Structure 1
Amino acid sequence: MEQSEGNTRLKAARIAAGYRTQEAFASALGVGIRQVRRWESADPPWPRADVQQQLVALLGQDMESLGFTRPAGVPQPRDSQARTLPRAQGMVSVPVPGLSLQPASVAADFADITRRHRRLYWTVAPATLHPAAVAHANLGCALLQETAGATRRTVAAALAETYLLAGRIEFFDIQQPDAARDTWMRALQAAGQADDQLLGAAILAHTAFIPGWVGQREEAAERMVAARTYARRGPASASLLAWLDAVEAECETRCGNTRTALNLLRHAEEVLAAGSEHASPEWLDWFSPVRLAAFKGNTQLKAGHLPQARETLLQVLDDLQPSEDKQRTVILGDLAAVEAADRNPEAACSYAVAALDQLSTTWYATGMDRIREVRRALAPWQHERCVRDLDNRLYGWETTVSALGR
């Protein structure tokens, strides 16, 4: 049983840093539990220089604040104040601990809000959720200055996920790729502070979308190599590995390499079928076998495999959950594109109008992009009544203002 008296300062700092037991603290430091008990006694011995550095780094306080008495003749170290990591060009630096620590409970509280934002993403308007996510990220940066040890790593992981979410909104929902690039770089820095390899893999894969969507294949491929490297370092689940294949396939499709993309998607299906002993991270809520099929249907469309694309996409539409309205818009847009490519303008317009109906409820810029592509493909039939009816919907007051405003 742990002591109720003695060096209460060290004990309080240990608990605030997320180490609720002396055993956990000893393990983090790589020392024996008897050593920790001596430090938390009424007369704690002065630790060795290397252990002092570990204590200060782990708990975010200097030795005197941790209840130790500096022996005569031992100088005070110069760098005992709060520091920040070196700032990279165009990047907000993630702070390191100061001298005043929050209780360990702040980590769970901060992560809980991150978790709720993750769920809200699927239904709340992007313009509403994005400011809340950014404000939450600012809070996380402040908390990093006031936490240490296991508590700080938990905050940093939640901060990385928050930045990842904000970047997803910027890229997919409101089409601000430059802002998404900066935000995802902050996410990667926070994931590094948490030493979360899988989050790092997810963030890096997201950054591959930026060059991939504009045809910069080599840069996208380089990002994916980095993402797969990070995934190998952690206990990657089958879903995460399959999603990496899907992301690379999306980039290859955008770059015109549909054969390579289809091979990647086939491999992703095999990975999911084989499964894995590792569970998927809680934050990996944007991918599933249905989402993989959606990737496949779009690639089949771009490859000109229209019957296969139609069959795949119709099955995806049937399998989507009621909460997946954003993805539903994309699938309806792709089905419209299939019919336009198959020279069936009435069916294409019907799917496009259904997609617009969905957009009026849940805005998604990626979905609107699909509809605009379909309208361009319908140019040969622009005098047909069905196309004119689509134009009336596409360029109605509400839709036009929403599109231009975003």
Structure 2
Amino acid sequence: MAERRYPPNRRLAWERLQRGWSYEEITERIRSEMSRAGETDTGLNANTVRRWEIGERWPDPRYRKHLVAILGKPASDLGLLTPDELAVRPEAETLHEFRRLWDMLTGDDNGNGWDRASVLRALVGASMLPLVAPLLSLDPDAAHADGKTVDPDSYRQIVRCQRELYWTSPPRPLYEAAYAHTQLGIGLLRAATGTSRNSLATALAESALLTARLAFFDLSQPAIAERCYDVALTATREAGDHALAAAVLGHMAFIPAFGHDPVNARPLIDAALQHTWHGVSPMIRSWLHCVASEVEARAGAAAASRRHIDLAADSITGDGTPPAWLDFYDAGRLHSFAGYAALASGDQIAAAVQLAQALTGLNNAGVKQRSVVLADLATAYSSDGDRAADYLNQAIDALRADWYGTGLDRVRTVRPVLGDSRHGAQIDERVAALTAGRAALPGS
């Protein structure tokens, strides 16, 4: 095995995986870009790309520029800049630009026609949004220390309403509203004291968690989600809320898990489980075992994945009322995780049974999960092309009704089971039409 010379480039790997591309597919895209630019093919192959991602090699400049073009992200966001190259970034000018954009968003004398949603979209497009929160946290003026009394209940009420809207609202507008509310909470918390501070910290943690879930699962923005999870975890420490801390850490584990990086996901699950020994609802422990099961399934550890499902089933029968914000997990969702674990172990019959139960048990708070379950059912029936295609078509119908970025990723992951069949071509056309239609929507 070759010695690792550089840090693993998880950012590049993540962007490739987010698009469902194999090493061969991204290699062919680079070759096409080189050919279009009139450059000579120097023997680039899939193994070279793999070595970039695991840290055995560093991409040459002639490849870096094409990766930037293909993935539509700056080199710094793709982990393509060396420490020496990053050191020349004009930090002072960057921070000035953040402040200018934030003033455009929040200033009372905004006479330039900028509205909150437009600025937030601009920040997302510029990959600046994840950095706004820590920038403000360093600004004493952000504390709003004007002597006004902070009302945690009013702030929490809006969090609750946004959480309820999660299941019925388009993700982008709700994300923008939730992100803005999280920013408001940061400022309010800096000004709060006494018991109101603890209560507000809990509400802020809930708001930041919701924002992160929207960013990661719905909008496929892991960098933004990671920063929002950091805010949520910090708020749980302030509030001393073990249940929320466990939930945040469990959600954080999905980021490396989706990147097929179980080494960094497992410690987050372990840390989350430690919090469940402090009077936390057994339902949260059950959900954490389900998350651990998915981490292991994605890592190819089928036996460990199914063991966690057994632990989840044991925990879900425990006493205790789950917190109101735990609306993303129930017994039906357990069947969904169990089906995924069965697929990882190659037991398609057991997977079909579990997933059928999951589909039947989905309520109004689980509509987004429908596309994921249907795609997994297509995998369970992969030996029956007609039936697999039917489930994938149902998954696309579900995405048209209730958009879910994770659902689209699952459809794309399952699509190869149809091969070059007419069913496969139909699914390709429908996915292309779905994504093109969403790209044309304002604020999508």
Could you tell me which of 377, 394, 411 is aligned with 1:354?
394
Listed as ranges, the matches of 1:29-40 within 5 Å are: none
- Contact kept in structure 2, 1:356 and 1:393, CA below 8 Å: yes
Deviations, residues 365-403 of structure 1 (Å, cap 9, x unaligned)? 111111111212211xx233x33332332222x433427
Counterpart check, 1:103 vs 2:144:
no
Partner of 2:379, secondary structure, is helix
Q: Which residue of 2 aligns with 1:181?
A: 226
- Contact kept in structure 1, 2:328 and 2:365, CA below 8 Å: no
Q: Which residue of 2 aligns with 1:281?
A: 323
Aligned pairs, number: 309
In structure 2, runs of 5+ residues without a counterpart are 1-130
Counterpart check, 1:394 vs 2:436:
no
Q: Which has the larger radius of gyration?
A: 1
In structure 1, runs of 5+ residues without a counterpart are 1-87
Q: Which residue of 1 aligns with 2:385?
A: 345
Q: Which residue of 2 aligns with 1:23?
A: none
Deviations, residues 14-58 of structure 1 (Å, cap 9, x unaligned)? xxxxxxxxxxxxxxxxxxxxxxxxxxxxxxxxxxxxxxxxxxxxx
Counterpart check, 1:329 vs 2:374:
no
Q: Which residue of 1 aligns with 2:418?
A: 378
- Contact kept in structure 2, 1:102 and 1:147, CA below 8 Å: no
Counterpart check, 1:317 vs 2:317:
no
- Contact kept in structure 1, 2:242 and 2:280, CA below 8 Å: no
- Contact kept in structure 1, 2:367 and 2:402, CA below 8 Å: yes
Q: Which residue of 2 aligns with 1:164?
A: 209
RMSD, aligned α-carbons: 2.3
1:218 maps to a residue whose letter is V
Measured in 2, the distance between the counterparts of 1:158 and 1:257 equals 37
- C-alpha deviation, 1:294, in angstroms: 0.4
Identity %: 34
Deviations, residues 129-148 of structure 1 (Å, cap 9, x unaligned)? 00000111111122113321
Partner of 2:276, secondary structure, is helix
Counterpart check, 1:271 vs 2:315:
yes
- Contact kept in structure 1, 2:243 and 2:281, CA below 8 Å: no
Partner of 1:102, secondary structure, is coil
Measured in 1, the distance between the counterparts of 2:261 and 2:426 equals 37
- Contact kept in structure 2, 1:333 and 1:351, CA below 8 Å: yes
Q: Which residue of 2 aligns with 1:247?
A: 291
1:176 maps to a residue whose letter is Q
Partner of 2:202, secondary structure, is helix
The structure carrying a bigger helix percent of its residues is 2
- C-alpha deviation, 1:149, in angstroms: 0.9
Deviations, residues 333-356 of structure 1 (Å, cap 9, x unaligned)? 11111112xx21111111111111
Counterpart check, 1:112 vs 2:157:
yes
- C-alpha deviation, 1:158, in angstroms: 0.6
Q: Evaluate the alpha carbon distance shift between residue 394 and residue 98 of structure 1 in structure 2; reply closer, same or farther with a 3 A threshold.
A: closer
Deviations, residues 132-180 of structure 1 (Å, cap 9, x unaligned)? 0011111112211332111111111111111111111111111111211
Measured in 1, the distance between the counterparts of 2:342 and 2:368 equals 21
